Chain A
Amino acid sequence: MKKILAMVLALALVLSVAAATAEYKTIEEGKFIYATSPDFPPFESTDDNDNVIGIEPDILAIICGNLGLTAEPYAIDFDSALVAPSAGKADAVVSGVTIKEERKSSMDFTIPYVTIVQGIVFKSGADITMENLGEKMIGAQSGTTGKDLAVDNFGEEHVTSYDKYSLAFQALQNGQVDCIIVDDMVGAAYVKQIPGLEMFQTDYTPENFAFGFAKGNTELLEAFNAELQKLIDDGTIEQIILKWNE
């Protein structure tokens, strides 16, 4: 009797381990480590206990829950977050990443789940329009599409980039930069938090956000895409975005 019990237990143990490992390949078993720059509300920011919160952590929590993984943030500056998957430091970069042709050589994108445009945030009353942007000093976070756009259109000498958007907004309040180019939803979140700021949307091409996976992890990517599609179809994503934009 004891022998049979022991054998059953051993079998159960083997099976359970096999069930856990067979699913998806991640850097740390059972964990989904995502690189993120948590100064990007409402997509991701930190609360007082240094937990990463926001739209993307919420979406990840649902998807990873369904896939039997635990989502774990790896907080780092944005430009470093972008290269974290290809450097093998994270399974994916989840930090409001725009799908961009140049980025496809270093990561595999999921399907897009939200569309944004670039916005310009400035101090209320300042004379900033789309036309005179080229004469101003534009602040941005290094590595962002907004910074690249500003550099391409107005040249390196009209752009100052910072490690974090929080620093860039500090510089804007100080008057060290005239305006900040940032994704409109994020800009709106900062405008809500910091009094005396305004924003307008630019007429640059709208951009799609997705998660950027380390290249070659097709199984995980496809599973993610399927889950993401479900959440888009049943309106969960929209609800989450609405909730965080309140």
Chain B
Amino acid sequence: MEQFVAWKAMMAANEPTTLWQQFYVLFYQAFIENDRWLQYLNGVVTTLYVTVLALILGVILGIIVAVIRTAHDQQRPGHRNPILGFVNGLLKIYVTVIRGTPMMVQLMIMGLVIFASSRNFVMVGALTLGINSGAYTAEIIRGGLMSVDHGQMEAGRSLGMNYTDTMRFVVVPQAIKAILPALGNEFIVLLKDTSLISVIGGKELLYAARSVASRNYEPMYPYLGAAIIYLLLVMLFTWLLGIFERRLRASDRR
């Protein structure tokens, strides 16, 4: 602490300082002075909170959209269900609009127009990210469901299982394995996209780093710190997904 004050004064007065002293001062003021690490910690908690909420919402939305759209696409020719067709049209619009507009624009519209009276910026951010992620997840899951051979469904049905059971016990387990890498990709993008909610006032990790950077007029350490934290979170995520994938593959070859 005394070291920090003394060395900082030396740097402010343009006196010669060693590299170690500069590193110490900049690091100290970026993370330790006034308990600034707490700001980063709160930021990480918010980031994870938003990611988890958006993930759950995105997966639920994705599954619903994907199942309905697959059911529509895999109808027998000549036996089209009009209600299914209508819902499918709506869902197609949802996917098109969400995939066709930038995340940042969606956040601005949700934060400042649609939820103009809400002060819970974090929840608005999680909702926006969830809806956004849902569209991408839906297409990934749909791809997985469509990739399972038709014969699997036919075999299941011919053994006397109904549509839901065949889906649940035959098609979906095979689909999940196929889409896991793509899904992991989407989750990682989602985690990093949480940094965007700082534009509508969400106090996540980047918000904390910017706050500290503008206090010290020294951007390098706070931003590098934030980058390292994001990287660690993504690595943790990747590792967990890897374990999950290995578990699912355990019965592949015997």
Chain A residues packing against B (C-beta within 8 Å):
79-80, 82-83, 86-87, 102-107, 137, 142-143, 147-148, 156, 160-163, 167, 170-171, 174-177, 215
Q: Which of A106, A167, A174, A176 contacts B217 (CB 8 A)?
A: A106
Residues of chain A within 8 A (CB-CB) of B207 are: 161
- Interface of chain B residues 114 through 128 with chain A (CB within 8 A): 116-119, 121
- Interface of chain B residues 196 through 212 with chain A (CB within 8 A): 199, 201, 203, 207, 210-211
B196 to chain A, nearest CB (A): 11
Does residue B250 face the partner (Cβ distance < 8 Å to A)?
no
Residues of chain B within 8 A (CB-CB) of A102 are: 215-217
Inter-chain contact total with CB atoms closer than 8 Å:
63
Contact A137 to B213, CB < 8 A, known contacts A162-B201, A171-B201, A176-B201? no
- A143 touching B214 by the CB < 8 A rule? yes
- A176 touching B117 by the CB < 8 A rule? yes
A15 to chain B, nearest CB (A): 36
Mask of B122-163 contacts with A, CB within 8 angstroms, 1/0: 000000000000000000000000000000000000000000
Contact A148 to B215, CB < 8 A, known contacts A104-B12, A156-B39? yes
Contact A174 to B116, CB < 8 A, known contacts A142-B210, A156-B39, A161-B211? yes
A75 to chain B, nearest CB (A): 17
Residues of chain B within 8 A (CB-CB) of A142 are: 210-211, 214
User: CA separation between A99 and B211, bound complex, in Å?
Assistant: 19
User: CA separation between A108 and B217, bound complex, in Å?
Assistant: 13
Does residue B225 face the partner (Cβ distance < 8 Å to A)?
no
Q: Can you name 27 A-B pairs with beta carbons within 8 Å?
A: A79-B213, A83-B213, A83-B218, A87-B219, A102-B215, A102-B217, A104-B12, A105-B8, A105-B217, A106-B217, A106-B218, A137-B119, A142-B214, A143-B214, A147-B214, A148-B215, A160-B203, A161-B207, A161-B211, A162-B199, A171-B112, A175-B117, A176-B117, A176-B119, A176-B121, A177-B119, A215-B14
Q: How large is the interface on B (under 10, 10 to 19, 20 to 34, 35 or more residues)?
A: 20 to 34
Contact A174 to B211, CB < 8 A, known contacts A86-B217, A163-B199? no
- A82, A87, A105, A162 — which one has the most chain B CB atoms within 10 A of its CB? A105
B122 to chain A, nearest CB (A): 11
User: CA separation between A83 and B217, bound complex, in Å?
Assistant: 6
Closest 7 CB pairs of A and B: A143-B214, A79-B214, A174-B116, A106-B217, A105-B12, A160-B201, A83-B219
Does residue B227 face the partner (Cβ distance < 8 Å to A)?
no
Residues of chain A within 8 A (CB-CB) of B12 are: 104-105
Interface of B is mostly: helix
Residues of chain A within 8 A (CB-CB) of B14 are: 215
User: CA separation between A163 and B210, bound complex, in Å?
Assistant: 10
User: CA separation between A176 and B123, bound complex, in Å?
Assistant: 13
A93 to chain B, nearest CB (A): 10
| Extra contacts besides A160-B201, A163-B199, A177-B119 (5): CB < 8 Å | A82-B217, A102-B215, A105-B12, A107-B217, A176-B121
- B118, B216, B217, B219 — which one has the most chain A CB atoms within 10 A of its CB? B217
A88 to chain B, nearest CB (A): 12
Contact A176 to B118, CB < 8 A, known contacts A104-B12, A105-B11? yes
Residues of chain A within 8 A (CB-CB) of B121 are: 160, 176
User: CA separation between A83 and B218, bound complex, in Å?
Assistant: 7
User: CA separation between A167 and B217, bound complex, in Å?
Assistant: 22
Residues of chain B within 8 A (CB-CB) of A107 are: 217
A189 to chain B, nearest CB (A): 21
Residues of chain A within 8 A (CB-CB) of B213 are: 79, 83
B112 to chain A, nearest CB (A): 6
Residues of chain B within 8 A (CB-CB) of A106 are: 217-218
User: CA separation between A102 and B216, bound complex, in Å?
Assistant: 7
Closest to B112 in A: A170
Residues of chain A within 8 A (CB-CB) of B116 are: 174-176
